[in-house]
Chain A
Amino acid sequence: MTTVLIPGALRSEVDGASRVTVDAHGTLRAVLDEVDSRWPRLGRRIRDEQGELRRYVNVYVDGEDCRVLSGQETEVAANAEVQVIPSVAGGADFDGDAILAANFAPWVQELGLTVEEAGPDFATLRLPWSDKLAREGGAMSGQALMAAADTATVIAISSAKGGFGPMTTVQLSTTFQRPVIGKDVLVTSRLTKLGRSLAFAEITMTAGDALVAQATTVYAIL
């Protein structure tokens, strides 16, 4: 049996219960399918008609956000606890550029980073080419790439949590694989784990179609 914790706003669909148990486990999808068949109105408030989790509904499996695990394929052990929580960002559009403008040191802002895309567990930033970022030899400096990777992770964590909050970099490790000359760099930070106090991310940096650098990072959520 799997226990499903129901948020206050949806309890009217289950006669006021704060938790229900369903006879399904294995994957989160199997658990939600069982929720659908027993309480279709509850089910369609969690997933849309194509079976996708609604953007502003978060589902935690034993305390971990399923979006940084394997989504609906996340394993659900027997007797696990699945918690449905409305995201704090519901009703608000996530504005990564506003977070960039409000929370970073002036020299980071001078990099001209913009948010291309942000999702439940990732953010992609564009680092525009500038001659000012070139080191001796004409290629983009590694310092700029590292700052972009660090910044992209802040946006990814903010997007996942529905807004900016205090956090700090604990570790950032970068490998530089190809020089970048005269091209913008797309920096994608993907969260591999978002816990209560630590977040882990993998960052890929590409220019054109070529991978130019990769990084891993650990953040402390304050």
Chain B
Amino acid sequence: MGYLNLVTAPSLACSLVCVVGHRHTVAVTVLLLIGTAKGLFLARRERVGDAWQVSVPHFPMTGIYAVGIDNRGAKPRLLASVESSHFGPSVAVSDDLGASWREPEEAPVSFPKETETSLERVWAFAPGAASSPEVVWAGSQPSALFKSENGGVSYELVRSLWDHPHRPNWGAGFGGQAIHSILPHPADAQRVVVAMSTGGVYRTVDGGQTWAPGNVGIQATFMPEPERFPEYGQCVHKIARDAENPERLYAQNHHGVYRSDDDGQTWVSIADGLPSDFGFPIVAHPSKGNTLWNFPLVADASRFPVENKCQVFRSSDAGETWQAQSHGLPHAPFYATVLRDAMCTDNGSPAGVYFGARTGEVFASADEGESWSLVASHLPDVLCVRAITL
């Protein structure tokens, strides 16, 4: 599919927040969900190059720590982790692209009484394998995995992981202790890989009956020298699965960028071509293998973009080499971080890539990161983004 970069469109008069982009000829409607510290914004663009129409916030004054898009049914279902600092966490779903949301009467994600634990927040959603269309997974703080069998409306604790003998030793990173990444195997409903901070990667190959750590090769730089490669306990920030080779995973670690070619059992470094091995998000291309993006920060102790420059890095060879991509991104010194869930692709071809910063700016690329434009600015802190082509 080809498209043209033509002229800048004039400002549009509308009651919503508008950002002027470039006029293109290809109609690819994209819906971008922007979860922020003060609500969920829905941004929509009808054609490549059109301005983005950004909604007023849904769930105002709540933190939207995760959004999910389940595109397996006849129409997409949107999932949102909604957290009120007063009234606690919840999960809402929408079957009309975010126009209306519903939430069950009973708590959709909650810990059983005997755990003596209370949900703090939902950090991640993941639709299950195509063969189990009603299964949706959710990861929480404190670190726990939940499974829904009704399309993400209500969930049950996955006891096998909660009862794992390692659990008392899982720690908390700066952001809290949570399962933030869930990667169901696309073809094998028995296999799921999760990642948590701290704890690292765990995987099941028997439908969640048993779980084993999968951190061989991943470093824990915050440990003393002889213990830097523990069986578990690493602070893995985010993992992603390759689109073409489902055995291949990518990880952005708390210092370290890695690839696994055995479904998350062992890992090798792919950080050599990057200016820094620290960062939070890592995102795989939705359909093209060996292609991924991240957003490097200088270091744990210096959480600024490398050279104070707003730039993402893309690899097209599974991490062997990396290219900076910053065309259209701000030239001015850029100090904001991009959180682990604040970068995503859509499901288009070519893929759209999106990221948001804690300073409330959101950027989009319709050409796999070659060029970028602003979706919105001056939003609250951007916590997560997810996108879908309609």
Residues in B60-85 with C-beta less than 8 Å from chain A: 84-85
Q: Is the CB of B87 within 8 A of A48?
A: no
Residues in B87-139 with C-beta less than 8 Å from chain A: 87-88, 90, 103, 105-107, 110-111, 113, 116-119
For residue A136, CB closer than 8 A to chain B, the reply is: no
Q: Which A residues lie within 8 Å of B105 (CB)?
A: 40-41
Q: Is the CB of A49 within 8 A of B107?
A: yes
Q: Is the CB of A49 within 8 A of B119?
A: yes
Q: Is the CB of A54 within 8 A of B88?
A: yes
- Residue from the list A45, A87, A91 in contact with B88, Cβ < 8 A: A45
Query: In the complex, what's the smallest C-beta–C-beta distance from B383 to chain A, in angstroms?
Result: 14
- Residue from the list A45, A46, A49, A52 in contact with B110, Cβ < 8 A: A49
In the complex, A90 Cα to B84 Cα: how many Å? Answer: 9
Q: Is the CB of B85 within 8 A of A90?
A: yes
Given contacts A45-B87, A54-B88, A86-B86, contact A40 B106 (CB under 8 A): yes
Q: Is the CB of A44 within 8 A of B118?
A: no
Chain B: interface residue total (CB-CB under 8 A): 17
Highest count of chain B CB atoms <10 Å: which of A48, A49, A86, A90: A49
Q: Is the CB of B88 within 8 A of A44?
A: yes
Query: In the complex, what's the smallest C-beta–C-beta distance from B118 to chain A, in angstroms?
Result: 4
Query: In the complex, what's the smallest C-beta–C-beta distance from B375 to chain A, in angstroms?
Result: 26
Query: In the complex, what's the smallest C-beta–C-beta distance from B164 to chain A, in angstroms?
Result: 21
Q: Is the CB of B118 within 8 A of A48?
A: yes
Chain A: interface residue total (CB-CB under 8 A): 18
Q: Which B residues lie within 8 Å of A197 (CB)?
A: none
Q: Which B residues lie within 8 Å of A41 (CB)?
A: 103, 105
In the complex, A57 Cα to B85 Cα: how many Å? Answer: 9
Q: Which B residues lie within 8 Å of A56 (CB)?
A: 85-86
- Residue from the list A49, A50, A54 in contact with B87, Cβ < 8 A: A54
For residue A105, CB closer than 8 A to chain B, the reply is: no
A27-58 to B contact mask, C-beta < 8 Å, 1/0: 00000000000001100111011101010110
Query: In the complex, what's the smallest C-beta–C-beta distance from A133 to chain B, in angstroms?
Result: 36
In the complex, A9 Cα to B88 Cα: how many Å? Answer: 13
For residue A220, CB closer than 8 A to chain B, the reply is: no
Q: Is the CB of A48 within 8 A of B116?
A: no
Highest count of chain B CB atoms <10 Å: which of A40, A41, A52: A41
Q: Which A residues lie within 8 Å of B117 (CB)?
A: 50
Q: Is the CB of B86 within 8 A of A44?
A: no
Give the residue name and chain of the A residue nearest to B37 (CB).
A91
Q: Is the CB of B87 within 8 A of A52?
A: no
A74-102 to B contact mask, C-beta < 8 Å, 1/0: 00000000000011001100000000000
Q: Which B residues lie within 8 Å of A144 (CB)?
A: none
Query: In the complex, what's the smallest C-beta–C-beta distance from B16 to chain A, in angstroms?
Result: 24
Q: Which A residues lie within 8 Å of B90 (CB)?
A: 44
Give the residue name and chain of the A residue nearest to B104 (CB).
A41
For residue A10, CB closer than 8 A to chain B, the reply is: yes
Q: Is the CB of A90 within 8 A of B86?
A: yes
Q: Is the CB of A50 within 8 A of B116?
A: yes
Highest count of chain A CB atoms <10 Å: which of B86, B106, B107: B86
In the complex, A41 Cα to B118 Cα: how many Å? Answer: 16
Q: Is the CB of A54 within 8 A of B86?
A: yes
Give the residue name and chain of the A residue nearest to B113 (CB).
A50
Q: Is the CB of A49 within 8 A of B85?
A: no
- Residue from the list A9, A10, A46, A48 in contact with B119, Cβ < 8 A: A48
- Residue from the list B84, B85, B103, B111 in contact with A50, Cβ < 8 A: B111
Query: In the complex, what's the smallest C-beta–C-beta distance from A120 to chain B, in angstroms?
Result: 14
Q: Which A residues lie within 8 Å of B87 (CB)?
A: 9-10, 45-46, 54, 57, 86
In the complex, A90 Cα to B85 Cα: how many Å? Answer: 5
Given contacts A10-B87, A45-B88, A90-B86, contact A52 B118 (CB under 8 A): yes
Given contacts A40-B105, A41-B103, A41-B105, contact A48 B88 (CB under 8 A): yes
Give the residue name and chain of the A residue nearest to B63 (CB).
A91
In the complex, A49 Cα to B90 Cα: how many Å? Answer: 12
Residues in A8-22 with C-beta less than 8 Å from chain B: 9-10
Give the residue name and chain of the A residue nearest to B38 (CB).
A91
Query: In the complex, what's the smallest C-beta–C-beta distance from B83 to chain A, in angstroms?
Result: 10
In the complex, A40 Cα to B154 Cα: how many Å? Answer: 14
- Residue from the list A9, A49, A57 in contact with B118, Cβ < 8 A: A49
A53-76 to B contact mask, C-beta < 8 Å, 1/0: 010110000000000000000000
Give the residue name and chain of the B residue nearest to A87 (CB).
B86
In the complex, A56 Cα to B88 Cα: how many Å? Answer: 9
Q: Which A residues lie within 8 Å of B85 (CB)?
A: 56, 90-91
Q: Is the CB of B111 within 8 A of A44?
A: no
In the complex, A87 Cα to B86 Cα: how many Å? Answer: 7
Question: What are 29 sample pairs from A and B whose C-beta atoms fall under 8 A apart?
Answer: A9-B84, A9-B86, A9-B87, A10-B87, A40-B105, A41-B105, A44-B88, A44-B90, A44-B110, A45-B84, A48-B88, A49-B107, A49-B113, A49-B118, A50-B111, A50-B118, A54-B86, A54-B87, A54-B88, A56-B85, A56-B86, A57-B86, A86-B86, A86-B87, A87-B86, A90-B85, A90-B86, A91-B85, A91-B86
Q: Which 3 A-B pairs have the closest CB atoms?
A: A91-B85, A45-B87, A49-B110
